[in-house]
């Protein structure tokens, strides 16, 4: 019986030790920040994701504003390893040399993606008007979206109010 209790205690401590090691990773912020905002897309009036580290350590922030102007957002800290993994993918795009895209759909009704990226040496802002984000801009949105969704719930309600009303009406029959 004592062996089981001792093994349980050791197993619990092992998990804590691993967490402590993950959180004690060395990290150099280098004033890195990457953000994209898209306006007038299918999900609402505006949505965006920001990866930064200067104000509150490594964190990810996301927001969404619906067509009625209601804004929802959340932010959470991430590990230095998660930050560096996302940053490596963003750095692989050569963001320092990117300009406004010319390979999007570029139609006036299409959403506009605005990108702002910086570190301690460079800063770049560029945009892309398109329905589907082309390469290499897609690698930026994909990296930010992936880390923003990791272990997080969807931001906001995914079902419109009129669809909920229909569901309620069907249940009452």
Would you give per-residue pLDDT tens digits along the chain (173 residues)?
555 444 444 444 555 555 545 556 678 899 999 999 999 887 778 999 999 998 888 999 999 998 888 899 999 999 999 999 999 999 999 999 999 999 888 788 899 999 999 999 999 999 999 999 999 999 999 999 999 998 777 766 656 565 667 667 767 76
| Residue 147 belongs to domain spanning | 33-152
Domain assignment of residue 114, yes or no: yes
Q: Minimal CA–CA distance to 50: which of 37, 65, 40, 31?
A: 37
How many domains does one find in the chain?
Answer: 1
Domain assignment of residue 172, yes or no: no
Which ranges of 24-171 does DSSP label H, i.e. alpha helix? 80-91, 137-149, 161-171
Domain assignment of residue 90, yes or no: yes
Instruction: Tell me what pLDDT residue 85 has.
Output: 95
Domain assignment of residue 157, yes or no: no
Pairing of strands 59-65, 71-77: antiparallel
Domain assignment of residue 126, yes or no: yes
Domain assignment of residue 28, yes or no: no
* CATH number for 73: 3.30.1560.10
Domain assignment of residue 94, yes or no: yes
Output the pTM of the full model.
0.75
Domain assignment of residue 99, yes or no: yes
What values do phi and psi take at 7, rounded to 5?
-65, -40
Tokens of 25: 């990773």
Query: How far, CA to CA in Å, does 120 sit from each of 82, 84, 114, 136, 138?
Result: 19, 15, 21, 22, 24
């Amino acid at each position: 019986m004592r062996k089981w209790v001792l093994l349980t205690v050791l197993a619990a401590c092992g998990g804590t030790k691993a967490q402590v090691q993950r959180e004690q990773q060395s990290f150099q912020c280098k004033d890195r920040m990457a953000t994209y905002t898209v306006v007038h897309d299918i999900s609402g009036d505006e949505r965006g994701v920001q990866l930064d580290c200067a104000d509150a350590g490594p964190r990810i922030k996301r927001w969404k504003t619906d067509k009625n102007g209601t804004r929802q957002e959340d932010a959470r800290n991430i590990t230095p390893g998660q930050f560096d993994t996302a940053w490596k993918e963003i750095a692989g795009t050569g963001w320092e040399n990117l300009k406004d895209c010319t390979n999007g759909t570029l139609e006036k009704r299409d959403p506009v993606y605005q990108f702002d990226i910086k570190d301690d040496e460079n800063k770049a802002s560029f945009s892309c008007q398109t329905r589907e984000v082309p390469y290499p801009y897609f690698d930026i949105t994909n990296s930010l979206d992936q880390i923003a969704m990791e272990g997080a719930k969807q931001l906001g309600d995914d079902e419109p109010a009129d669809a909920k009303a229909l569901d309620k009406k069907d249940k009452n029959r």
